[in-house]
Chains A and B, each alone.
Chain A
Amino acid sequence: MSGSRQKTPKRKMQMSLGDRIISFFTYIVYSIFAFVCVYPFYYIFINSISANNLSEKGKVLFWPMQVHFTNYINVLKIPDLFNALKVSVARTVVGTVLTVLFSAFLGYMFTRETLWGRKFWYRFVVVTMYFNAGIIPWFITMMNLRLTNNFWGYIWPVVVQPFYVVLCKTFVESTPKELQEAAEIDGAGTLTIFFRVMLPVIKPILATIAIFAAVAQWNSFQDTLILMTDSKLFTLQFVLYQYINQANSLRGLINNASGTVDIAASLAKAQTATSIRMTVTIIVVTPIILVYPIFQRFFVKGIMIGAVKG
């Protein structure tokens, strides 16, 4: 970690004209792209805090109008929200740590020429990326393994992800061979090499997988829908999905309510599905944005062979 703090020496080299032009265009293009990405998010944010009737009409485009926080307060009023948050955090942390460790280890092992049946087992894992057996056998498998209504039902099915294994293996292969060889001559075993030599070197790809896995865990709610009936195990995403869904259910309501027109009509007025969706998006994305820069620190370079040799 100490490496990241070292300041790279200021470059005094003269930039050529071509470089300057490229640099100029780079800034322009990235600024535009950043704007296109930020604006919709900004749009969602200002709409979530503007009066819902203005927002529904699409009036809120550049700055918030008639600011209020009822949308957020209503979300906070959802019963058991805090418990759902706990479950979400737990599955994200546990799931991410295990996924990263397992993917890294498998990715590394599949580069070991000495591994028995290396190619076969690698392919055995990779092809599953394209398997889709259908929901019923999956559910029955989970049920037989007692993973329905069980926290580990969120974890075990997703900890070995072929795509991450492939990413790791590719990364490990790009590291200089001498690293491992040197360690082996020193008499280090397979596991020692992995923990002592490889893990520090492949930090960037670990951070990448961690981001992917964490976001996948954090955003997932389909598994809750099917696997969990115990409300103690509901996740934040599930609870919020449910909240959106209720706001969106007018159609279902009036389809079976020809006899209760007045109820449908009065409920209809309470609908602000889009505002709710926007509020939920902000709530869900904010933690990700806050955590993301922490991962970015692992993308720094300059701690390669030199750092390891030293």
Chain B
Amino acid sequence: MKLLENKRKLRSLREFLYILPFLVLVAIFAYYPLYGWFYAFFDYKPPFPLTWDRFVGFKWFHTMVSNKVRIAQLLSVLRNTFAISGISLAFSWFPMMFAIFLNEIKCTAFKKFVQTVTTLPNFISWVLVYSIAYSVFSSTGAINTVAMSLGLLEEPKIFLASSDHIWLKMWLWLTWKNAGWAAIMYIAAIAGIDEELITAAKVDGASRMKIIWHITIPCLLPTYFVIVMLNLANFLSNGFEQFYVFQNAFNKEYIQVLDLYVYNLAMGSGGYSLSVAVSMFKSIVSVVLLCITNGISKLVRGHGFI
């Protein structure tokens, strides 16, 4: 018995040795550079070295709320961030459904075609996306030209410099760009479903909807949940590129998300400490959110996802 236990322990340690090199990589490239968070507490400005007389404590964390205007700005920025992240989360099932119904298509050629081309937008940079959007939606763009020649519009309509439904529009652009790409994960997961289950259901005469509902979706849920949880922890990060290219004076109030706001605020080399402070804050919030969602998951589903 003892022999067996020793053997177990030995094996457990041996397995740890297998993963040790990778843990070292993680420690070197992810943990060690974290000493850079020190910069958040200093008034760092290159080329002046980081000395103690430049220590400013939590000043950069306060900066965002240092006066009424900033507070108002921060609130509106957070509102936008929450709205846009919220819409994304609410529709996070979209890529999964996309993959499920794609899988239902019988015609292999069509299926492969759709699967390939829907990943294309992912490779078009946001800058280029905007120039396409401009040529389609500007006052002399395709839509206005067509609508005016058909007599649907009297005057060219300005689409891009308007804040109407801006959150929804941003979500549409994002979905257009990412849905096909994100679906790859679910397509892989569908391929991993045990064929025998489906064959058995078919023999029992289950309809396609039934198979989707009772077999496919439950099999995809673990992947889905993990991705939702990871995204949830990333709630404060929307990236700034998309919003940077689409922003203008008329939609700025509703389009400025946290990442864009900080980018604008910390421009130039003088903003290094501030941007480190914000990314540190975001890291901490993310990890806390991760713990919370994991805890909730444990309560609700009986097990955590990390």
Decide yes or no whether B127 CB sits under 8 A from chain A: yes
A114 to B8 CA separation, bound complex (whole angstroms): 8
Within 8 A of A (CB), among B1-39: 8, 11-16, 18-19, 22-23, 25-26, 28-37, 39
Decide yes or no whether B83 CB sits under 8 A from chain A: no
Q: Chain B nearest CB: distance from A155 CB in Å?
A: 11
Quick check: A44 and B132 within 8 Å, CB to CB?
A: yes
A289 to B39 CA separation, bound complex (whole angstroms): 43
Say which residue of B207, B222, B230, B283 sits within 8 Å of A132 (CB atoms).
Answer: B283
With A278-B128, A301-B195 known as contacts, the answer to whether A207 contacts B209 (CB < 8 A) is no
A179 to B69 CA separation, bound complex (whole angstroms): 62
Quick check: B124 and A299 within 8 Å, CB to CB?
A: no
Q: Chain B nearest CB: distance from A210 CB in Å?
A: 10
Chain B residues positioned under 8 Å from A185 (CB to CB): none
Say which residue of A140, A175, A292 sits within 8 Å of B116 (CB atoms).
Answer: A292
Interface size on A, residues (CB 8 A): 93
Say which residue of A19, A170, A176, A208 sits within 8 Å of B194 (CB atoms).
Answer: A176
A127 to B112 CA separation, bound complex (whole angstroms): 35
Q: Chain A nearest CB: distance from B47 CB in Å?
A: 12
Chain B residues positioned under 8 Å from A115 (CB to CB): 12, 15-16, 19
Quick check: B140 and A170 within 8 Å, CB to CB?
A: no
Decide yes or no whether B306 CB sits under 8 A from chain A: yes
Among B123, B179, B230, find the residue whose CB has the most chain A CB atoms closer than 10 A: B123
Q: Number of contacts between A and B (CB, 8 Å)?
A: 244
Quick check: A30 and B140 within 8 Å, CB to CB?
A: no
With A34-B118, A115-B19, A281-B128 known as contacts, the answer to whether A136 contacts B290 (CB < 8 A) is no
Quick check: B125 and A211 within 8 Å, CB to CB?
A: no
A58 to B142 CA separation, bound complex (whole angstroms): 8
With A41-B120, A116-B12, A117-B16 known as contacts, the answer to whether A137 contacts B34 (CB < 8 A) is yes
Q: Chain B nearest CB: distance from A181 CB in Å?
A: 15
Quick check: A208 and B279 within 8 Å, CB to CB?
A: no
Decide yes or no whether A84 CB sits under 8 A from chain B: no
Decide yes or no whether A226 CB sits under 8 A from chain B: no
A264 to B191 CA separation, bound complex (whole angstroms): 57
Decide yes or no whether A90 CB sits under 8 A from chain B: no
Chain B residues positioned under 8 Å from A29 (CB to CB): 101
Within 8 A of A (CB), among B166-191: 176, 179-180, 184-185, 187-191
Among B30, B141, B179, B272, find the residue whose CB has the most chain A CB atoms closer than 10 A: B30
Decide yes or no whether A95 CB sits under 8 A from chain B: no
Decide yes or no whether B157 CB sits under 8 A from chain A: no
A289 to B306 CA separation, bound complex (whole angstroms): 34
Quick check: B207 and A18 within 8 Å, CB to CB?
A: yes
Interface size on B, residues (CB 8 A): 91
List the B residue with the shortest CB-CB distance to A136. Answer: B36
With A123-B306, A132-B282, A211-B184 known as contacts, the answer to whether A141 contacts B33 (CB < 8 A) is yes
Quick check: A296 and B115 within 8 Å, CB to CB?
A: yes
Among B12, B102, B142, find the residue whose CB has the most chain A CB atoms closer than 10 A: B12
Quick check: B19 and A106 within 8 Å, CB to CB?
A: yes
Say which residue of A26, A122, A138, A285 sits within 8 Å of B120 (CB atoms).
Answer: A285
Contact code string A272-310 (vs B, CB < 8 Å = 1, else 0):
001001100100110011001100101111101110000
Say which residue of A22, A208, A304 sits within 8 Å of B209 (CB atoms).
Answer: A22
Decide yes or no whether B287 CB sits under 8 A from chain A: yes
List the B residue with the shortest CB-CB distance to A286. Answer: B123
List the A residue with the shortest CB-CB distance to B222. Answer: A170
Quick check: A205 and B279 within 8 Å, CB to CB?
A: no
For the complex with contacts A174-B223, A277-B127, 15 further pairs of A-B residues with Cβ separation under 8 Å are A34-B118, A41-B120, A109-B19, A112-B15, A115-B15, A133-B36, A134-B279, A140-B33, A160-B25, A160-B29, A170-B226, A173-B222, A215-B123, A274-B128, A305-B196
Interchain Cβ contacts under 8 Å between A and B, 13 examples: A43-B132, A44-B128, A114-B12, A124-B23, A130-B233, A131-B30, A131-B283, A138-B33, A145-B28, A170-B223, A208-B185, A274-B131, A289-B120
In order of increasing CB-CB distance, the 7 nearest A-B pairs are: A137-B36, A128-B30, A130-B286, A204-B188, A133-B33, A204-B191, A137-B33
